[in-house]
A and B are shown apart, each in its own frame.
Chain A
């Protein structure tokens, strides 16, 4: 059953730069999809369309059967959570706790229910004991995890992450992977990190120049050398996608 349907979405930035040329994408409930592609391919732009932060010039987005429009923006934003690339952009409140509370509070949740949401989200990323610290006291990996908690508190249906592993050391990447694996959520992950994409996502979608150029099992896409080269994608040295544990 599809939870996300993107149909013919096209978008040009206000300065005239065309970023998306008719994107079609369907994601089923519980799927984990890697969104691969070179810089400037339109991956982030597409991600920002999924919860209506950017408004498509043409085409439509459906989330859980609900069509994205101004009237149900709030509900769509509850369903689709975006974790941005730089946690300093995502964590803007004075303390971790208040930041996690921000989303659900905007949904009108207060009191004991709000406390429960905060606790649940922080526990899911293992940051409960840091609730009262300001975000700038945390390590980069911890901030990334709190950023995930801030959207989990909204109990979304789809988790969209923009380069979740950027600037993380291998141990922090591992911790984040363990957390994400434990979540029962549909995920869309924009990334340049091929091993991570292979580990986390069974399906990969390749974007290039504002269009989707390939869509299939991650392992097959990564094994297709011609396809990878045509889309400016590369595997790390010595990495063999056919290897499996």
Chain B
């Protein structure tokens, strides 16, 4: 939800491909299965990761999601990778000199392992959210028997992200219109104090939403409103690629 009105479409890339039309719970299950296969693959099997990357690229192309879009979205994992990059420098054990730096061999393996698995996992999930509207994903999760509290929290987060973001924008405009326009760094101070106010406002909104829910007969359990149906073909299509990944994974262990 960065800047301006995202209009809630968020990460969804509009389309009508087979992947777009697949029942959401099949897609979610398929994506998770694929990630499991990736994670279970031994880190030494470089070829296997090549095949996984190829599968993701092929799926992305078939869904007509621009590869550049997917690549750009992969940048969300950057903060997590900093830790991985530090590993070869920090880990103990046998060392190797690369370009004048002494690196731990075990650390290099660990960094590669994290880097490749995190990247493939993120790419899989990005492909999922690029081809599935967020509300369908929620319904899919509900259908997959994810605890309704978790689904409800996800739903509220998505529903109110925009509301809270616009409240934040209004507070910023309020600061600016009273002549508070510091440079980026000092903005942090105002932001910190606004965060408190924002928290209270959100908390109060939460109370009002709860009142509205009770008024309509809420008694502690979200009603299940699942209306997504999947054919056996849907399941087969959804597990086609994860099945290939499972074969690759098994092959890598042999």
Contacts and interface: CB of A to CB of B under 8 A. Distances in A.
Given A84-B212, A106-B219, A136-B7, 18 more contacts: A53-B214, A74-B219, A77-B216, A82-B215, A84-B208, A92-B209, A92-B213, A94-B158, A95-B135, A102-B216, A102-B225, A103-B216, A105-B223, A107-B217, A134-B135, A136-B8, A137-B7, A154-B216
Contacts of B224: 105
Nearest to B137: A94
A122 to B, nearest CB: 15
A196 B217 CA distance: 30
A89 interface: yes
B218 interface: yes
Interface residues of B, number: 27
A150 B208 contact: no
B163 A136 contact: yes
Given A101-B225, A136-B163, A106 B208 contact: no
User: How big is chain A's contact interface, by range?
Assistant: 20 to 34
A93 B159 contact: yes
A92 B159 contact: yes
A167 to B, nearest CB: 14
A36 interface: no
B211 interface: yes
B223 A102 contact: yes
Which of B160, B209, B214, B223 is packed against the most chain A CB atoms within 10 Å? B223
B215 A77 contact: yes
A157 to B, nearest CB: 14
A134 B159 contact: yes
A155 to B, nearest CB: 12
Contacts of B160: 88, 92
Contact of B208 (A74, A86, A98, A102): A86
A89 B209 contact: yes
A134 B224 CA distance: 18
Contact of B217 (A89, A91, A103): A103
B133 to A, nearest CB: 9
B138 interface: yes
A134 B215 contact: no
A24 interface: no
B156 interface: yes
Given A92-B156, A136-B159, A154 B217 contact: yes
Interface in A44-71: 48, 51, 53
A42 B49 CA distance: 66
Contacts, number: 84
Interface in A119-147: 134-137
Nearest to B6: A136
B213 to A, nearest CB: 7
Interface of A: 48, 51, 53, 74, 77-78, 81-82, 84, 86, 88-95, 98, 101-103, 105-107, 134-137, 150-151, 154
A102 B215 CA distance: 11
Contacts of B87: none
Nearest to B136: A94
Given A101-B223, A102-B223, A105-B223, A94 B215 contact: no
B166 to A, nearest CB: 9
B162 interface: yes
Which of A86, A94, A102 has the largest count of B CB atoms less than 10 A from its CB? A94
B205 interface: yes
Contacts of A77: 214-217
B215 A89 contact: no
A134 B8 contact: yes
Contact of B134 (A84, A94, A105): A94
A151 B8 CA distance: 25
Nearest to A84: B212
B16 to A, nearest CB: 16
Contact of B218 (A81, A94, A106): A106
Contacts of A154: 216-217
A86 B211 CA distance: 12
Given A102-B223, A137-B8, A151 B216 contact: yes
A94 B135 contact: yes
Given A98-B225, A101-B223, A136-B8, A89 B216 contact: no
Contacts of A90: 212
Interface string B78-110: 000000000000000000000000000000000
Contacts of B215: 51, 53, 77, 81-82, 84, 151
